[in-house]
Amino acid sequence: MQKLKGQRALVTGASSGIGKAIALELGRNGADVVVNYRSGDDVANAVAEEIRAGGVRAYAHRADVSQEADVVPMFQRISAEFGGIDILVNNAGLQKDAEFHDMTIDQWNTVIGVNLTGQFLCAREAIRCFRRQGIRPEVSRALGKIVCISSVHEVIPWAGHVNYAASKGGVMLMMKSIAQEYAPMRIRVNSICPGAIRTPINQGAWETEETYNALMRLVPYKRIGEPDDISKAAVWLASDDSDYVTGASIFVDGGMLLYPGFENGG
Ligand SMILES: NC(=O)c1ccc[n+]([C@@H]2O[C@H](COP(=O)([O-])OP(=O)(O)OC[C@H]3O[C@@H](n4cnc5c(N)ncnc54)[C@H](OP(=O)(O)O)[C@@H]3O)[C@@H](O)[C@H]2O)c1
């Protein structure tokens, strides 16, 4: 069953990892999909082509989500090509790690700019589009849905990654505040908080047996997450199956939040 048939979605950072898996899964569930990316035209176009092969509309759109001058035209194009937008997945993100005393202002600004300001800019444009559109009860009970890809680090402090943890902590209260402000208009806003997922962003943490085993000490479920663990949750949050869910952080983390240091009694 195609749960998202007739809906129009934008996934930011959809040329790789979690964003790519979400874009493909939205398409498999019947949504038309815009594949946003920042670099690598060929990879992004291949994702869009794979989605189109399933019989829905899709195109790749290059834009840096941290730049207002890129984000506003990206939403104008969706309105022009698809006639509107029903689902935003705020996924684009990166890390610029450093010990805190060595962290440069550039490392700080880049991570906050993409991970937090980028989510603000895209969410604001999506809300503006939703408000201009009427509700379409034949496709969804909600006027619009926003799914923010946050992290377990919206609550777990992370030494050596202060800029990243600060950006995801910011996403948490931004998401909840937008959810509160727009729930009366039937706009739902939620986050998925992944634990360790096998993507290029954290390759060092899973590519050798030694680092993988070290990572598993943090994961009670004793396996790394795969991008599709996140894409299934994203489709649920974008669909009417979760119509009474808004302002929620859904942790998809194999139990990483369960204080794994205590799993043998502490
Ligand atoms: N993997 C994990 O374990 C994990 C855990 C928790 C949270 N997350 C979150 O999940 C999201 C996706 O991460 P991932 O693991 O899938 O990493 P990834 O494979 O590195 O993918 C990140 C994507 O974001 C894009 N991107 C980066 N900066 C951008 C910008 N300014 N504008 C538009 N797109 C931009 C990248 O494009 P380019 O390649 O062109 O830069 C890439 O397509 C991030 O928000 C990350 O914080 C991941």
Q: Quote the tokens at residue 230.
A: 């996140």
The span from the CA of 266 to the CA of 262, in Å, is 4
Distance of CA 23 to the CA centre of its chain: 10
Predicted local confidence at residue 266, as pLDDT: 75
Instruction: Name residue 179's amino acid.
Output: A
Domain spanning 8-252 has what CATH number? 3.40.50.720
> Which of ligand 1's atoms lies nearest the C-alpha of 65?
32
Distances 136 to 40, 143, 242 between C-alpha atoms, Å: 35, 7, 17
Cα separation, 193 vs 159, whole angstroms:
18
Ligand 1 centroid – CA 73 distance (Å): 21
Integer Cα distance of 98 and 103 in angstroms: 5
- Residue 110 near ligand 1, beta carbon < 6 Å: no
Give catalytic residue positions. Answer: 164
Given this model, what pLDDT does residue 260 score? 95
Answer whether 16 contacts ligand 1 (Cβ < 6 A). Answer: yes
Alpha carbon separation from 33 to 126, 167, 262 (Å, rounded): 14, 26, 43
Q: Are 148 and 175 in contact (CB under 8 A)?
A: yes
Q: Within the chain, what is the greatest distance between any pair of CA atoms? A: 58
The closest-lying atom of ligand 1 relative to the alpha carbon of residue 95 is: 47
Give the per-residue pLDDT at 68. Answer: 98
What 3-state DSSP class applies to 220?
coil
Q: What's residue 41's pLDDT?
A: 97
In the chain (266 residues long), the average pLDDT of successive 10-residue segments reads 95 98 98 98 98 98 98 98 98 98 98 99 98 96 98 98 98 99 98 98 95 97 98 98 98 97 87
* Cα–Cα distance measured from residue 122 to residue 68, given in angstroms and rounded to the nearest whole number: 9
Using CA positions, which residue lies closest to atom 31 of ligand 1? Answer: 64
The response to whether residue 61 sits with its C-beta less than 6 Å from ligand 1 reads: no
* CA-nearest residue, atom 45 of ligand 1: 93
CB of 204 shorter than 6 A to ligand 1: no
Ligand 1 touching residue 238 (CB < 6 A): no
